[in-house]
Amino acid sequence: MSDEMQTLIERVSTATLAKGMAYASEGRVRVLSVTPHGSDATRVVASVRGTRQTPYELALTLHRSGTRLVAVEGRCSCPVGRECKHMVAVVARYIEMQEQQPAASVSSSAP
């Protein structure tokens, strides 16, 4: 598990963390947009397929200090609303995307 997940680990229960990580690994997260938000934050809008038919919608702001994730703010349309498994899933997927990005740009520049 990434060190960046430590920020969420401190805020959610073990069960919420496990369910969110499972949702991310099962491909339930659809990231709709990732945009800079000031000099040290990123805005992530996503949807997550949960237990109901309609996906839950999330809008999160991920705050960084250097390269480390230090805070997550936002809302989810699920009944819990914050610090839920859907939020964990989106953050996990975002981190995964960031880790894959350098590899993708290297492979795309190959002849």
Each residue of 19-52: pLDDT tens digit?
999 999 999 999 999 999 988 999 999 999 988 8
Distance CA 31, CA 14 (A): 24
Number of other CB atoms surrounding residue 82 within 10 Å: 15
Distance CA 46, CA 86 (A): 10
The 3-state DSSP class for residue 28 equals: coil
Number of other CB atoms surrounding residue 43 within 10 Å: 16
Mean pLDDT of 66-94: 92
Both structure tokens of 101: 């990005």
- pTM for the predicted model, two decimal places: 0.84
